Amino acid sequence: MSESIFVFFEKIIYVIFFSVIVLIVGINVLETRGHHSISTISPNYFEVLTLVIALLLIGALIGFRKSITNLLEKLPIAVWVVGFLGFSLILQLIVVKLFAVKPSWDFGALVNGAKLYLETGEVFNYFSTYPNNIFLFCILVVIGKVFTPDLSVYILFNIFTIIASQYLIFCIASKVAGRSVGFISLSVSVLFFPYIFFSPVVYTDTISLIFLLFPLYLMLDKNGELKTSLPNILLASFIFSLGMLLKGSLIIFIIAFSITLLLYMKGWKKAYIILPFIMLFIVKTVFNTSIYQLHILDKEQQIQTSFPVSHWLVMAQNSESLGKYSAGDVEWTQELLTTHPREEVSDIHFEELQHRFQEKGLLGNLSFNLEKITHTWTDGTYYSLNKIKRNPLEPTNITSLLDYKSGDILQGFARVQHLILFIGLLLAFPLIKDRKAFVTFCMLSIIGYFFFFLLWETRSRYLVSVTPLVILLSCMSYFKIKFRRSIG
């Protein structure tokens, strides 16, 4: 196949990416859902004021970027990296101390389920309904076995994962764009709102970060180029596959990796496109077989009680919840599973899905999806405040944090940061001229998340998994980097 075809395919990817980002930025300029996520109302002029502040900061970044990069080049690596990671640790420990919560929802099922299993050998029925969380359950069981199944240990594990991810963000940015952009990306990640306020919450959102960043780090050589050796491709595919076990939406990274291999591998090595999917099949098969043989899950019970994929597709079209979690749809699916075989339940779901599409009509579907995009992509808190507001150990602390003064300042910080990062993606256009595999992978992943959550049940917190790529691409864009091979 002619190389020009792949170049044309890349151009299509770029067009789709910038079209998506223009839409996301446009909606973010007009709307914000951070207050909505904790059932409060944004004050008058909040959107306008935060937009003006964001634009002023962007102007300052662009105006002083040369001075900033010159200064950063003179700083010792160890001092900057250790200092910022140490600050991240302190910041997260403060948040945990002040805003720790009693485990509930899926977070509670995982932490309490791991403790129950280690103490009695029993497994919550929850995991037969939601087997998608069984991999994190196994991770928590191992950690609890090695240390102790206390909440504090699991929170420390969550903090360690976030800090390790921030370090990998620094390493990847340094490989691709040089040390100064590495420093900038690290500082942004340490101050990134969801990485701070999700620290007390042990769940797939933050744990998933490592399953993106570690294989991405392995994929790139010291100059930020894609490694082409078979062992590296297989190892990266293996870790991406583990990520998909942890969180289903991470299959987007596997698809993006596969397409990247197709575009940038030479000659017959383009056939490597199938390796990530072969690895995913092997990993998923071995893991599921092991889970059944170890009697962690009962295969027959899981087939009967686990929600089919169609459940999340039909819930994604729920007009009342705007495609987010719907208790009514969950109860309906549970009732269907008690009276119908799983295959019939899927058929019923697809009939209801068709009905929901037809009921809204063309304009209704456009309006629904626009509102769904708004709720998913304009919450700069990434739903973290909603989670730490639930069952707080110190209710007075969270009340003080979210009151009308400090709460608005906090929301303002989240929105300004969110706007700066996504507007930065609009400035990524100069990065495409060098045809870098890393840039294309980032763009493919962001495109994938955008369209995936049009079809799937969604929340703004689900975007946490892809935020490292937003940070990396945005920082590279603002500082108009020349790629690593050009700067030595």
pLDDT attached to residue 2 = 67
pLDDT band for position 363 (50/70/90)? Answer: very high
Residue range 169-190: mean pLDDT, rounded: 94
pLDDT attached to residue 68 = 87
* Cβ-proximal residues to 248 (8 Å cutoff; 6+ apart), any chain: 132
Judge whether residue 485 has pLDDT over 50. no
Is-contact 260 226, C-beta < 8 A? yes
- State which amino acid sits at residue 20: V
Judge whether residue 1 has pLDDT over 70. no
Partners of residue 392 on adjacent β-strands:
101
3-state secondary structure of 326: coil
Taking only the tens place, the pLDDT of each residue in 66-118 is 888 888 888 888 888 999 999 999 999 999 999 999 999 999 999 999 999 99
Taking only the tens place, the pLDDT of each residue in 408-428 is 999 999 999 999 999 999 999
* Cβ-proximal residues to 14 (8 Å cutoff; 6+ apart), any chain: 432, 443
- Alpha helices (runs of H) in 75-150, residue ranges in sequence order: 77-99, 105-120, 126-129, 134-146
* Residue from 151, 145, 148, 147 nearest 110 by CA: 151
Is-contact 119 109, C-beta < 8 A? no
* Residue from 311, 254, 326, 256 nearest 132 by CA: 311
pLDDT band for position 403 (50/70/90)? Answer: confident
pLDDT attached to residue 486 = 38
State which residues form the domain around 161: 3-487
pLDDT attached to residue 303 = 84
Residue range 182-205: mean pLDDT, rounded: 96
Total structural domains in the chain?
A: 1
Cα–Cα distance measured from residue 321 to residue 452, given in angstroms and rounded to the nearest whole number: 17
Q: At 133, list the tokens.
A: 């969380």
Residue range 189-203: mean pLDDT, rounded: 97
Partners of residue 101 on adjacent β-strands:
392
CA angle in degrees (0–180, nearest 5) for 413-414-417: 80
Judge whether residue 488 has pLDDT over 50. no
CA angle in degrees (0–180, nearest 5) for 38-400-391: 55
pLDDT band for position 4 (50/70/90)? Answer: confident
Cα–Cα distance measured from residue 474 to residue 426, given in angstroms and rounded to the nearest whole number: 8
What's the whole-model pTM score? Answer: 0.94
Residue range 246-262: mean pLDDT, rounded: 96
Cα–Cα distance measured from residue 284 to residue 441, given in angstroms and rounded to the nearest whole number: 23
pLDDT band for position 484 (50/70/90)? Answer: very low
pLDDT attached to residue 487 = 35
pLDDT attached to residue 482 = 53
Taking only the tens place, the pLDDT of each residue in 432-454 is 888 899 999 999 999 999 999 99
pLDDT band for position 232 (50/70/90)? Answer: very high
Calculate helix-pair angle for 151-177, 209-219, nearest 10 degrees: 30
Taking only the tens place, the pLDDT of each residue in 278-294 is 999 999 999 999 999 99
Q: At 400, list the tokens.
A: 């003080």
Judge whether residue 481 has pLDDT over 80. no
Taking only the tens place, the pLDDT of each residue in 57-66 is 999 999 998 8
* Residue from 14, 251, 284, 13 nearest 134 by CA: 284
Is-contact 391 101, C-beta < 8 A? yes
Is-contact 202 157, C-beta < 8 A? yes
